[in-house]
Structure 1
Amino acid sequence: MKVLVVYYSLYGHMHHMAEAIAAGVREVEGAEAVLRRVPETLTVDILEKMGAIEAQKAFSHIPVCTVDELADADAIIFGTPTRFGNMCGQMRQFLDATGQLWQQGKLVGKAGSVFTSTATQHGGQESTILSVHTTLLHHGMVIVGLPYTFSGQMSIDEMTGGSPYGASTITGGRGERMPSANELAGATFQGKHVATIAQKLYR
């Protein structure tokens, strides 16, 4: 059973979350986690001006996803940073290219889940995840979130991401904060939860 983890990362925050998601998937017997990046739409010049080139070297080995790979997966977990409370443009453009899959019903019945990051604590984590859910529902996917059995999302010991909509992390206004242990634990929990649900659907 293949679980595809498709994400966009600019400075590495979402890459770290994606790795934690994949680790959770692998905890389920018979589940294979496959990491893929969505295509970049920014030019090298823009990326250099944003100071992202060096950070992206850490995950440049992750292959870029093709639309056809979505159809081959048994479950798909999407990761996108927020852009004004919505998914990033790179993820939007990638999903906009899935019209043929929609016409053929290739994603109907597959488990679908989302994780995200925002600069601030109230920067649109839930609305960003919901913005992706809309597309997944149009594809007929079975939405899977992050249940409250992951108690870390109820913690008040630290400023932390995580909600029943999905795992998330807070990056800070300049991207200086990497995912905390609690946020990574939420991502791992979500990966395992999605793989468990997907396995039931697969059977």
Structure 2
Amino acid sequence: MSNVNLAIIYYSSTGTNYQLSKWAEEGGKEAGAEVKVLKVPELAPQAAIDSNPGWKAHVEATKDVPVVSLDDLEWADAIIFSVPTRFGNMPGQMKQFLDTTGGLWFNGKLANKAVSAMSSAQNPHGGQEATILALYNTMYHWGSIIVPPGYTDPVTFAAGGNPYGTSVTVGQDGKIVEDVEAAVKHQAKRTVTFAEYIKKGNQ
């Protein structure tokens, strides 16, 4: 049984990154971690949400998912982020949350946490890798330990072979094109494992 606390923090408008987060939750639990799935606050105006039936339906379906707090970051030994790409960068909703972490960073509360990330876009070259790397920029400042999946298991190739973090494309029907469930679970288990290494090393 792991003694790792894993926070999976996501932003999702129509459900793709929520699904990735739920698979990561399963992988984390299989690795023995205590897991929280948490969403960042929605910043879009209600009119924009209402104009997209899929967005509106997803917001309603996930209304009971807890909103992440700074206390959750401090609680976590490992953190997995999952976001769609916005012009090769993270969505404003995630950036706004990360920009509130200055106090924790200043006090060294985010150092040595195992961190990994996932992303999605509507086409194969839609900025998924750039988005994950943009997320990691913040974690370098935190002093966290980046845990990419690399090519450490054959499932990463079946999922498209992104070494930075599992990423997907989404078809016009709103469904994930690739079969990435196993890759996401591997990434989550790997992140939990490295968090265990870090905790043992700090004892």
Query: By the TM > 0.5 criterion, same fold?
Result: yes
In structure 2, the CA distance between the partners of 1:179 and 1:3, relative to structure 1 (3 Å rule), is farther
Moved more, 99-108 or 59-68: 59-68
Q: Provide the aligned C-alpha RMSD in A.
A: 1.4
Contact 1:4/1:34 (CA < 8 Å) preserved in 2?
Answer: yes
For residues 5-43 of structure 1, what are the alpha-carbon distances to aligned partners after superposition, in whole Å with 9 as ceiling and x for unaligned? 0000100000100001111111113x1111000011012
1:79 equivalent in structure 2: 82
Contact 1:11/1:175 (CA < 8 Å) preserved in 2?
Answer: no
For residues 38 and 129 of structure 2, what CA distance do their matches in structure 1 show? 23
Deviation at 1:79, TM superposition (A): 0.9
- Percent identity over paired residues: 38
2:41 to 35, 39, 61: 39
Deviation at 1:171, TM superposition (A): 1.0
Contact 1:168/1:187 (CA < 8 Å) preserved in 2?
Answer: no
1:185 equivalent in structure 2: 182
Deviation at 1:105, TM superposition (A): 1.1
Moved more, 65-74 or 51-60: 51-60
How many residue pairs get aligned? The number is 196
For residues 49 and 24 of structure 1, what CA distance do their matches in structure 2 show? 34
Deviation at 1:179, TM superposition (A): 5.7
For residues 46 and 164 of structure 1, what CA distance do their matches in structure 2 show? 34
1:19 equivalent in structure 2: 22
2:169 equivalent in structure 1: 170
For residues 170-203 of structure 1, what are the alpha-carbon distances to aligned partners after superposition, in whole Å with 9 as ceiling and x for unaligned? 113x4622364x2121111111110111111122
Moved over 4 A (4+): none
1:67 equivalent in structure 2: 70
Note if 1:196 corresponds to 2:182.
no
Q: What TM-score do the two structures reach when normalised by structure 2?
A: 0.91
Q: Which runs of 5+ in 2 are unaligned?
A: none
Contact 2:129/2:164 (CA < 8 Å) preserved in 1?
Answer: yes
For residues 198 and 84 of structure 1, what CA distance do their matches in structure 2 show? 31
For residues 144 and 153 of structure 1, what CA distance do their matches in structure 2 show? 14
For residues 7 and 177 of structure 2, what CA distance do their matches in structure 1 show? 21
In structure 2, the CA distance between the partners of 1:117 and 1:130, relative to structure 1 (3 Å rule), is same
The letter of the residue matching 1:187 is V
The letter of the residue matching 1:131 is A
Contact 2:151/2:161 (CA < 8 Å) preserved in 1?
Answer: no
Contact 1:5/1:34 (CA < 8 Å) preserved in 2?
Answer: yes
